[in-house]
Chains A and B, each alone.
Chain A
Amino acid sequence: MKSSRRFFLISILLGVAVVFLGWFAFTRLRPYKFHGSLVPSAGTAPDFTLQGVNGPVSLGDFRGKIVLLYFGYTFCPDVCPTTMTDLAKAMQLLGKQADHYQVIMITVDPERDTPEKTDAYVKHFDPNFIGLSGTPEEIAQVATLYGIFYEREEGSAATGYLINHTASTTVLDKDGRLKLIFPFGTAPEDIASDLQHLR
């Protein structure tokens, strides 16, 4: 009877061990839950070359960095400054690690926003941000491919026209693959936490 008792003991212990390890694995090794919407795609996102303040800038220049793409414009009254402030806060929260990320704003108002104006605008929020512009055709091409819609809306004489546009932020990984979309209004803490888990 000795061997059957031993077998019984072993199975009990084994059962306990499996439950314990399973619980450990579930609580400790549980995959991170992103706040943004995951868009993990196999291929690289479409490359583009637009005008920066010091000449042409391509998406490919930022391989090795995680890129946050935002489409906005400098006359934007509310949505763009809020997003830029949130992204700047997220970068502050990341501290030294912020070097691994690059925030790029592409203007959807190329007629008014020169590369200089766009770049100066974003640097007002964070000196490491980059602003890009281009011809209306180039901007239309890039925006379309990144799922961004925008249209001109006539405002009052004082403000000039406004532009309605998709207000989400697109995140690409170090290899230029699409990874995440942050909807407008994602908290800076959630952005920072998601970005940390992308590295």
Chain B
Amino acid sequence: MTRWWHWLPFVFLGLVAASVISFKVFQPVQVVPRIRLAPGFALIDQDGQQLTSEDLRGKVVLYNFTYTRCPTPCYGMNETLKQVQAGLDEVLPPDIPMKFVTISFDPEHDTPEVLRAYADSLDADTDRWIFATAENPSLLKTILGAGFEVYYHPREDGTFEFDPKYILVDGWGIIREEYRYETMLPNAKRILRHIGVLANEIENSKGASKLAYEAAHLFLCYAP
């Protein structure tokens, strides 16, 4: 005769399975993925100052890659960045520092002076929005091509063929999200939503809730 308690282990397993499935389905906690390491670098900014990956450690950074002679609207990148900056206060608590870094892959033309003029023409606050490049083109190719996986290729007329791309990096130097133009129009709203999700994790992933965040990574509960 089957006793009811013989079913207890199955009930327990069922409950565990149900909670795992509901965690995955309802996603009470969402995260942005940890994709890979962002490259280490030493660049030069619009004021001729050095900008290194170590300077940006501990800060959330949104990178994009372009060149100042890119014919406007240049995929609307600057417009998107301005929209993200305008909406930042709503998603990012003031105690989490964030920077925007626009890296030019045209160092021959985009000297610090040119980058400074470009920043001014965009009315950019260079405390928060930094424009940079590397003086050594082959090192720049390693940082951008191999490190950030950004494709760019000069054409004979001085313009570039390139993938407009935004990359979101956390304070540990880990790439958390990549936005490519061809797959989806990277709209400011989507980037802002991800910055908000990342900020939540930074603020709340402590103590017991850290387990919930790690579970969210494990079950790929990624914010759309």
Contacts and interface: CB of A to CB of B under 8 A. Distances in A.
B4 interface: yes
The CB with the most chain A CB atoms within 10 A, among B12, B37, B52, B139, is that of B37
The CB with the most chain A CB atoms within 10 A, among B8, B41, B54, is that of B54
B214 A144 contact: no
A145 B147 contact: yes
Chain A contact residues: over half helix, strand or loop, or mixed?
Answer: mixed
Contacts of B211: 30-31
Interface string A140-157: 110111111111000000
Given A30-B211, A144-B143, A41 B35 contact: yes
B88 interface: no
Nearest to B139: A140
B36 A43 contact: yes
Contacts of A18: 11-12, 15
Interface size, B (range): 20 to 34
A142 to B, nearest CB: 10
A76 interface: no
Given A18-B15, A149-B41, A39 B172 contact: yes
A14 B4 CA distance: 10
Contacts of B5: 13
Interface string B49-70: 0101110000000000000000
Interface string B26-46: 000000001111111110000
Contacts of B210: 33
Interface in B169-212: 172-174, 210-211
Contact of A143 (B8, B35, B40, B217): B40
B57 to A, nearest CB: 8
B159 interface: no
Given A10-B4, A144-B147, A146-B37, A31 B142 contact: no
Contacts of A127: none
A149 B40 contact: yes
A181 to B, nearest CB: 7
A146 B8 contact: no
A37 interface: yes
B17 interface: no
B146 interface: yes
A21 interface: yes
A147 B146 contact: no
Contacts of A30: 211
B35 A141 contact: no
A149 B146 contact: no
Given A149-B54, A166-B53, A144 B39 contact: yes
B53 A17 contact: no
A45 B37 CA distance: 9
A144 B37 contact: no
Nearest to A148: B40
A141 B146 contact: yes
18 contacts: A14-B11, A17-B8, A39-B37, A41-B34, A41-B36, A144-B41, A144-B142, A145-B37, A145-B146, A146-B40, A147-B37, A147-B53, A149-B40, A149-B52, A149-B53, A151-B42, A151-B52, A164-B54
